Homo-oligomer: A and B are copies of this chain.
Amino acid sequence: MKPLKELTKAELLALKESLTEEYKEAKEKGLKLDMSRGKPGLSQLDLSLPMLDVLSSKDEMKASDGVDVRNYGVLDGIPEAKQLMAEMMDTTPDHVIIFGNASLTIMYDTVARAMINGILGETPWCKLDKVKFLCPVPGYDRHFAITESFGIEMINIPLNSDGPDMDLVEKYVSEDPAVKGIWCVPKYANPTGISYSDEVVKRMAALKPAAKDFRIFWDNAYCIHHLYEEADKQDRILDILSECEKAGNPDMVFEFASTSKVSFSGAGVAAIASSEANLKDILKTMTIQTIGHDKINQLRHVKFFKNRAGLDAHMMKHAELMRPKFEAVLNVLSKELEGLDIGTWTTPRGGYFISFNALEGCAKEIVAKCKEAGVVMTGAGATYPYGKDPKDSNIRIAPSFPTPEEMHDAAELFALCVKLVSVEKLLQEM
């Protein structure tokens, strides 16, 4: 196929006519699919059903240290849950606090604590005139929603194939004391699926912030979420905690992870990993906010997964279910769009998303056309702070929830909409 830009006006008009006809037919099919969110499919949730049987009324309800998991107490989590989540994050249990069912809540609360109490004795952010966060883009809309809700100014940082543009990150962080944080999804990033190179992680860990209370918000949401079993098809990233320690910045990072996309999305276990000083600081507020999180669910998770090997084996079952969905999308995109020069897309080796870049000024219209024909995508712009994609180009594709067959149909509709909107755009520009 040749690039659409090389077509004559007459050819484009003819193409538009046939695509419009195709679109009309597609609409008549009455598709009704939602690929807006990174929501696990039902068969993925079924994988963890046996977890509901590992604790019954006949079981001893005690943690390894003898604590009754049914009662109040234990602010930081039972020892075996700390061990499990530490293994998941490639760190040690002394760096870990276990929370409730959602790492999103930990992130929100971590920003809230910084706003209200300040970090390690520094001025609470709510007392400052200006607080800024660096936001590698495209990125995760819920991160941006948190910072926006606190009135924190967000600065776009281009996300390259090996991580954020570190020249720019270093410049902002070292020069501007109002820059207090950066949102990172270091592995199988949301939405591009890229992972940070060792060099990027090391540069991140070696930042020399102007603000003492600058923190890296390291959302390791997809740390064990590979799509392939072969080791050489799996991304590996360096452990940010030990890299920060080595670089003399032990307190500079908050790492987050959860089992939301491992066990049950609504009923998993989430954790933060950080330095001893940071954890102590966090516990000071936590002891006011709660008497402890759900320890029964912590024990349930440990009994089911046992250890990192158990988690990894379980994730391979997820991979088997996810791979065909990703491949369905990628195959359709290749077949329908390759060579047309109207879009680029990522081919992630893990995570939950494929990121698509359309011709500038086309994303909103493509998403609207998909919706009109029954396929709901993540809103265009959502992958940027304030919902504003300056190029109106990026679209996040979330293949997890529909079946592979549905994903195939949805991808075909998506490719059709990309072509139709691109042709219209090219015609306008003539």
Contacts and interface: CB of A to CB of B under 8 A. Distances in A.
Residue in A40, A55, A115, A265 with the greatest tally of chain B CB atoms within 10 Å: A265
Interface residues of A, number: 56
A169 interface: no
A285 B105 CA distance: 11
A128 interface: no
Interface string A91-132: 000000000111011001100100111000000001000000
B101 A71 contact: no
Contacts of A39: 71-73
A296 B72 contact: no
Contact of A69 (B48, B145, B266): B266
B50 A104 contact: no
A72 B289 contact: no
Contacts of A117: 149
A265 B145 contact: no
B57 A56 contact: no
A305 interface: no
A267 interface: yes
Nearest to A71: B265
A177 interface: no
Contacts of A155: none
Given A57-B53, A100-B294, A289-B104, A150 B267 contact: no
Given A102-B290, A294-B297, A72 B266 contact: yes
B57 A49 contact: yes
A309 interface: no
A112 B293 CA distance: 19
Contacts of A266: 69-74, 291-296
Contact of A295 (B51, B73, B116, B267): B267
For the complex of A and B, the 3 pairs showing the least CB-CB separation, nearest first, are A49-B57, A267-B296, A108-B289
